[in-house]
Structures are given as structure tokens and as C-alpha cells.
Structure 1
Amino acid sequence: MAVLTAKTHKDDSESLATRLLQYYPITGMALLPYLALIIPQAAYYHNPEVWVIVRIVGLAFAGSALIETAALPIRKPYPHREARKAANSRYPRILRVARPLAIASMAIDITSAAAGGGTIFTQVSGQAAVSPIVTLTTPFNGWRYVAAALFVSAYFGGYATKATFYRWMAAMFGAQLVIAAYTARAAPIAGFISFAIMGALMCGLVRVRSAAIIGFILLLAWPAIFAARNEIRERGGVAVPDQITAENRIRLDEQVSRVGRYAVPVEIQDMPGPAEVIRYGAVPRFLDPDRPLLSTGGLINEAMGGGRTSAYTFLLIGTVYFLHGPSGVVAYFAAWAVFFVLLLRTGKGPGPGRLAMIFLAITGPFGWIATYPDVLIGYVQNLVAAVPVLFGLHIVARRTGKSPGVAETSAPPLTAGIRRQVGVGH
């Protein structure tokens, strides 16, 4: 382990951008997609409604940055290297849980998609998939994100390298490609890649430059992905409009700025509330088989003059703005900032359980192309499914005891030195 940890320490000088993301996680997750892609798109195409985008992103920034800045004097997310090691090194057999969980998640996700779960054909029909396999496997769709969190915890504890994380994320990405072939949807691929990049950046497992290169490669590959998606849809009997090209389909700036044409908040019938979030999130469908299929995108599309068999959203921030107005955007991001402050700045620091909660939030409530409030339902569902995994991990920890001496250089502190670089606390 000493050779492994020494090499890991050498490779881990974290950039200022990564450190800022670690101190401002909610602000970073809200702003990065817009600063890196959507606002530049609007400027390049001379979108006349670019200021609509800037305004709603500013509201999200106000809600999260205020809380996260106020929390800076409280305590660092990781006060020192030993705190992170203490939170994660007491699970020496964590890889014995992470590896089977990752394999099981890939098998479950592919099986569910093959049985009709999450397909475009289900969306068009407006009915839930009838296969019992889909009903039984849907609650476990978040296991891949829990597995990713466990690999990060193993790295923090000194039981894995960055390469371990990369290999398993690549395997799970391959599973997403197979799923896309069944579902004829490209959004899950984009969502998983966004999750992987954001999680790796926040944990110091990838540099901003590398993330930018990955994003550029994906943009180049988008026309081929779009064409393959359309071919699968046409073979399944779903009409694909000829006027929608790969270029205008990725015009996310137009998708977001369109929200400025409406007087917000917009009242929509059948919109899920807190009771539905608990019902759909905590209660598996096999225990509640008569509940209707939930699609906020379909409800929004109907409110805009279309039908429920097609979906439309304004991405995450725009949809919150559409449904709840300016104050709703501020409140949403402020509330999640408080939650992350509690996860990162209390106790000894994030161990595998807290990392799982953070990773599930990255892909759920802060999946920037995700649909609100559906993502809240998914977050509750994924947390419920994660409980037996984390409980089993704690049982393993109790049986094996604490780690018998992990090298001090196993991994650098998540945020060590940020105060020196940005002047916090001086």
C-alpha cells in the first residue's frame, strides 16, 4: 500500500478551480454547464433572449453562494488529511462491496431497459412499462452512483487508485451505451457523463483541462449519437421530425431562454407535490401498481399547447423558475446549499454514506439536464435503495475492525490549501 499511496500523492495537486468547486459545490454545479456551454452558445448564435438565461442563473447563484460563503468560517469540508482518512479508512474491505454493487447495477439497468423500462416508446404511449422486471428493478437504478461513491471512498481511504475509479466508471459508461440502444434516448448518456465529470472534479480525481477535453470530444461525437438515436426510434415506429437536426437539438440556450416568454410561476394541474414525492420515491411501484406514470416534461409540454406523449423542459434551473418563479429558484438552491454544508462540514467529514448522498444529489436534484420535480422523487428512491448497501458496508466494517494502518500519503486532503490560494480566513 505504501507504493500505491506515495504515487497517488504525487499526482494530486488540485487546481484552484477544483478547490473552489469543493467549497462552493452547489454554486459550481449550477453555474458550470451554463458558463461552459449554454451562455457561450447563446452568444455564438446571437440569441436575443440571452439575458433571460443570465437572470435565472443569477438567481440560482444568489441562493447558493450566499449560504456557502456564510459557511466558510464554520469549518473546512476536510479540516486536515487525517480527517478524510479517518472517515474512509475504517472500511478496508470496501472494494468487496463496491465491485459487486457496480456489476449488479449494470446488470439491473441493462435488464430493465431490455424489458422496456425508461424507453422513448414508453414515453410516447404514456403508459408505464408492464413488465414485472421493470417494476422490480426500477428502485435500484441509483446503485451505479452509490457504487461510484464507494470507489471514491476507497480512494480516499487508501484502498484504491484513481485508475480503479476510472476503470469502473468506464465500465458503467459502457453499460449506459447498451441501455441507450434499448431506450433510444441520449439523455441518460449525457446525464451519466455529466455526473462522472462533476463528481470527479469535486473529489479531485480529474483536472478541469481533462474535463474540458472530454466535453469537446462529446460535442464532436454528438451528430453520430443523434443519428444513431433517430435510427433506433424509427425502427421502433416512433416518428422523427426531419426539421430537427443534431445542431438545433443541442441548442440548449434556446431550450432554456424560452422560459422568458411566460409569466411565472405557471400553475399546472397534476403537478406532483410533497406527498407525491414521498409516494413515488419511497414506495416501490409493485406495492402501488395503480399509480399513474409521472412525467413533468409531459405536463409542461401540455401546458405549452402540446400533448403529454411528448416532453419539454427548460433544464433544471429553468423548470424550477417556470413552476415557482424567481423566489423558488433562490429557495431551491439555498436549501440544497444548507444540506451540502451539513454533509461536508459536520462530523469527521464525508465517509461512504455521505459521499453516496452527495453523488446521488449530483445526478438527481442537480443533474442540469434533469427534470424537476421528478429528480426529487428519484433522489428519495435512490436513498431508500442505498440503505441496505450502506448498512451492509457498516456490518463489514464492524466485523473487520478499523483499518490497520493506512499510509498518511494515501490521498491529499480534499480542500487542503484553498484558504491560502483564495485568501479565505486571512
Structure 2
Amino acid sequence: MSRFKRVVTAASLIALCSCQSLSPGQRVSSEHLFVDLQLAGETTQPETAEQIFALPPQTKVQLNELLSSNQSVEQRTKAVLKLIFSYAQDGLLYDNEATKTAGETIASGKANCLSLSILTYSMAKELGMVPVFQDVKIPEYWTSMLRQTWLNGHVNVRLKQNRNLEGVAGFVLLGNDIVVDFDPYSLKQKFPEKTISQQRIVAMFHNNKAAVAYAQGNMAKAYTYYQAAAAADPDFAVTWSNLGVLYRQHGLPDLAEKSYRHSLALDPYSTNALANLAFLYRQQGDIERATPIEQKVMLKRRSNPYYHLMLGNEAFIRNEHENAISHFKKGISLDQNNHESYFGLAKSFYALNDDKLAEYYLEKAHHYALSKDDQQRYKNKLSILNQTAKAY
């Protein structure tokens, strides 16, 4: 599944844990959660909301031409969708790390789901349409990149089709809204969706930038982006949990705990923030507080196939291939259509020099993959595997 990186923590920071219930009334004041720190790396000026959503002049010209050549709302909608997906499918290289502004997405030819959604929103606005962002309530889902394991989120864009009837005061035509979503799995599963503000998207954007900077060791830049995220949307709980991770890594446990608790006050059901808090307690040797939290999180995660996929991937990185196979099989037992778990088995058996089973599970991964990109990726790996086998 390709999803934008609403990074929540880095890999070693996701402990197998959760937390005793925290009352929403226990919100910690965020006023003093940012302090003057001397951190490694160079700072940068985070992008403003205007910069994030701005379209290049040539794109505006292209859209205005599209607007003048398509008179009806239906024609206009179809034309903009065709243009958006031409960027997404033909003109862009999908890159999960590439969190970019609308203009950068067009200029660089690289983007992730968040970037594509930002581009979609900006183009729709330019055409006079009514786009809204939606947070898609996917299960906890992890990916590994830059030697870190990240927890992902997902957003899409809904194009509102309700409009006033021309020349008829007081009447509204109720059309069918169009959801633009760059993850076929999300569309197929029909996960719950919640409308979110443009400022929430800005906070997600800055969190992504911070996470990549963090993984690259530029802590000063990460800290600057967390500050920008909090300024854009102080109520976005993810920012404060991420900030707590940075504090914990830099030996500031009190600030880390306050950040986690503030995050939990904003979102008491965040398993990840609870896990971070429990990990902090265990690291401090406070087993009495850590243990019930860990048990609670385990109960919530053990039925999630992507949790076992994450454990399998981390075991594979540690060259614990038998352990990885066990986790991947558990993931498949919970979701028999999960192509990533089949791929995990394929690479594990390949590492154990069992080419026959590696090929079998690669074919399974190819069969269950929803996107053309994933299907082609598995097809290429199957071709390489077959060529290698013939060489021997």
C-alpha cells in the first residue's frame, strides 16, 4: 500500500506497549513544551501554507485553458481529474519520502500521496471547485525507510459537487461528490473518512519534513519543523507525540512525558502515543507503569495484520529469517489478501536459499497487488529470480 508519510515515530521508538487510560482533562499546557535546544544539524525556514499550495504560473495558464474549453461542471470535473491523474500516473515518480509543495511536485516529478493530494486540492481550487481534505481512518500501518520504521497515515481529497442552479435563487443541485484517492487499497476497503482543515494538512506536511530530517540525523531541522507544525495546528496530536520521541532520544525524559501526555489529551485513543509513553517508562525502569500499558497496546495490535508485517520486516532486517516468516504468516492468517506479507515471505525464503518457495510467494504477492506499480515491481522480481535460477 502506498500512503503518505504522516510519520508518527521512528522504528526503534515503537515499543510493544500502550498505556493506562488518561483523562482528556489531563492536557498539559503546550506553552513550555518547546525549549531552547542545541541540536545537531542546520535549520531551515519551513514552508508557509501559501508556498505549500501555490501553483506555478504555467500550470495556472493550463488550468484556465481547461476552464474556458469546458463549460459544464461535469466536463470541467472530468477534465481536471484527467489532468491530475496524468501527473500522478504518467508524469510523476512515486516516492514515499517526497513530501513536496504543489509547485515542487510538478517541477521535480516526484511525489507521495500527501503531495499528490495537495496538488489535487490546489488545482481544483484554481478551477473554482470545492475541494476538502479527508483523513482516512486506516489501521495502524508501518513502512521501513532510511533505516527507520514509520507509522503511516492517509488522506484523500473530496470534490464537492453541490452547487447553486444558475439563474434560480435558493436552489442547490445535489450532485455526487468525487473522491480523489491515490491508494487503491484505501478506496476498496472504504475506511471511515473525516473532513480535516487545510491547516491540519500543513501540520502533516511539516511533520513529514521533520521525520525525514530526523531519520537523516538533522535534529535541528526536525525540531524547527515540529515547531512549524504546532504553530499551524496546535491540536494535531501527532506533532506532540513526535516531539516527545525527539526529547526522549536527547535525554529529556520529563519533556518527553509531558509531550506524550499532551498528545494523549488531544487524542486519548492514539495507540502509538500510548506506546511511546510506555516505552519511556520501561526505559526509566518504571515497570509498574509500563507493564499494564504494554498489555493494553498488545491487545489492540495483535489482530492487526500490518502490525505483524512490521514485526516481520524488522526481524528480516536483523537477519532473523525464521522469526520473520512466522510474523508474515501470522499477518496472512489475519488478511489473506495482503500482498506485502506474501512478499515478506518471498524475500525471507530467498534469503534462506529456497528459490522455489520464494517464487511461489512472489507470484502470490503479484496476484494480490492492487496497484499497477506493485504488480510491475513483483513481476520484475520474478523475472530476475527466474533468470538467476536459469544461470545455475
Normalising TM by the smaller chain, what interval?
Answer: under 0.3
Which structure shows the higher strand fraction?
A: 2
Higher relative contact order (CA 8 A, sep 6+): 1
Larger radius of gyration: 2
